Every structure is written in structure tokens, then in C-alpha cells.
Amino acid sequence: MPFDLREIASISGMPGLYKIIAPTRNGIIVESLADKPVRSVAQARNRVSILHEISMYTNDEEHTVPLAEIFDRIRNQYGDNLPVSAKSSTQELGAFVESVLPDYDQDRVYASDMKKLVQWYQLVNQFVPYAEEAAASSADTAEEKEDTASAE
């Protein structure tokens, strides 16, 4: 998956998303995904949900779709310009999720889940590097080094 969500977490009682920095004896050190990141400690009593482990229900009882794959679909279809926000109506959010994941389970995916999906995507898209871009830029850098070496 292009977005690496293994170190990104949602923490109960704390708004927004956080990057996990290091473990402590009583919890974990996290850094907020924001323009001005703030480090804090999430206590062991807080429920920490790693985004890499979150999936969305589909109509197939045996199958769920990982959040990273949904984020990838959103990025491929909409890029940075989402047609909805977390304040959009439930119908607009439902239509948006259906455009990205046509077989999502409408009975088990609530409006609050769709709002979180939109909020989280916007944060992740802004603060977590997209792997294809990183791979492309490192390939360009390697080509430039080869060109420089052959010119000498």
C-alpha cells in the first residue's frame, strides 16, 4: 500500500491522528499530525488504534477492505480535492464512500465512520508521504547521479 499506516494511530480521548515515536514504561510517545507537531505521551489506559489494522466492512461477510487500500483508491480517484468534508450530509458521505468502495456494508458502516474516513484521509494525505512519489523521486535522484557520473 502506498500510504504506510503502520506508525499512524488514533487514540481515544485525543483528537486527530498521531505518529508513534517510541514506547515508554507507561504508554507510548506520539507526535500529532499537524502543521506544528506536538509530542505527548499516550497512557496505557488510552485505547490506541493503529490505522494499518483498521478495515471497512463489505457486503461479503468474510471480507473487509484495509484502510490503506481505501486511502489509495481515494487518492487515485480524487487526489487532494475531496468532494465531501466531515461536515457533509450522511447522504453525501454515503455516495462518496460508495464511489470509492461500491460494496461497502451500509448496515455496519455508520455515518461517524464515514466522517472519520474523510478526516483521516485528509490528515494522512497531508502529513504522510505517498510511496509512489517517494519511489519516483528516489529513482530521479539515482538517474541524476548516473548522468553526473557519466558526464565526468
pLDDT in tens, 27-48: 999 999 999 999 999 988 889 9
Where do the domains of the chain lie, and which CATH numbers do they carry?
8-51 (2.30.30), 52-129 (1.10.10.1650)
Local structure of 66: helix, strand or coil? strand
The string of pLDDT tens digits covering residues 90-113 is 999 999 999 999 999 999 999 999
Strand ranges of the sheet holding 48-50, from the earlier edge strand across to the other edge: 39-43, 27-32, 14-23, 8-11, 48-50
Q: Compute the residue count for the chain.
A: 152
Q: Whose grid coordinates read 484502510?
A: 67
pLDDT value at position 14? 87
For the whole model, what pTM was predicted? 0.81
Instruction: For residue 56, list its beta bridge partners.
Output: 65
Q: Whose grid coordinates read 455516495?
A: 95
